[in-house]
Amino acid sequence: MLTAQKHDDRERAALADLLRTYSVEITAHDEKALKAVESTLAPGTEVFIANLPDERAEVLVAAALRVRRAGLEPVPHIVARNLKSRDDLDGMLASLVRDAGVSTALILGGDRDRKAGNFENALQIIETGLLEAHGIRRIAIGCYPEGHPRIPDEVLWQALRAKLDAAARVGLETVLVSQFLFDPQPLIEFARALRREGIEAPLRVGVAGPADRTKLIRYALRCGVGASLRVLRERGSLARNVLAGETPDTLLGAAAVAQKEEPELGMAGVHFFTFGDPAGSARWAEEARSAE
């Protein structure tokens, strides 16, 4: 049996290993967050850039260019239901690749009730052929270890397979990025389910970065992170840490140890939903990596 010290050492080492790759997420119009990533992130860090439903493509392109000029890797969100037409998608991709050197994009369906144009889901974007035509080589695809508040699990699995198959047919590399959660067990079970289904794409673990309690709970409820919130209610010490704005080691520690013990889980890196504070997430990640 492992002593407590040996267990702690093993978990720290596993966590540092998982955090060798991490990314952060900001919104295109958030000037404070953009300045933070420009000044604090290590060169080569991936910065996922979200845009609001009615935000002009130029705002996304400008943010991606700033990220690129800071020596970082911009990963813009391309949201199907926000696009008015194929021509809009064509123009956006052309600008992102030409102006900001984008080679990876997160492809999403989007949550808006009324779509802006003809696109309804991420699969339709992948099937246009425009991604690879413009030089996008790799796409990130969202996934939901605790399910989605509006979509049945069976439909989620069917859609995930369809997107991965479509990407493979045109030679696009893929990485899965999970919705953030507070309990590692659904994540671990989801990773096992992926591999049982024969899905080999690496899984980047989505976690909540430091944020105030109100913002975190509001965002979690909107995203359907229900099972994790139940865990927080049942485990007072964890709730105090997470909802105080910390990302405790134990959240990712369990997932990291599982990955170390079951390498076939394919959990490769961490994605921080930063809630406007990418510097806070980066500080935590760097401290956890250096504690090995």
Return the residue matching tokens 């605790």. Answer: 146
Give the bridge partners for 141, in sequence order.
107, 176
Residue 133 has pLDDT above 70, yes or no: yes
Mean pLDDT of 226-248: 48
Mean pLDDT of 129-134: 99
Mean pLDDT of 15-39: 96
Nearest to 23 by CA among 190, 145, 203, 183: 203
Choose between 274 and 164: higher pLDDT. Answer: 164
37-85 pLDDT tens trace? 999 999 999 999 998 888 999 999 999 999 999 999 999 999 999 999 9
Nearest to 161 by CA among 186, 206, 117, 193: 193
**pLDDT at position 17:** 95
142-172 pLDDT tens trace? 999 998 878 899 999 999 999 999 999 999 9
What 3-state class would DSSP assign to 86? helix
CATH class of the domain whose range is 4-290:
alpha beta
Q: 173: which DSSP letter?
A: E
Q: How does the average pLDDT of the chain come out, rounded?
A: 88
**pLDDT at position 115:** 94
Q: What are phi and psi of 206, to 5 degrees?
A: -85, 125
Mean pLDDT of 33-40: 97
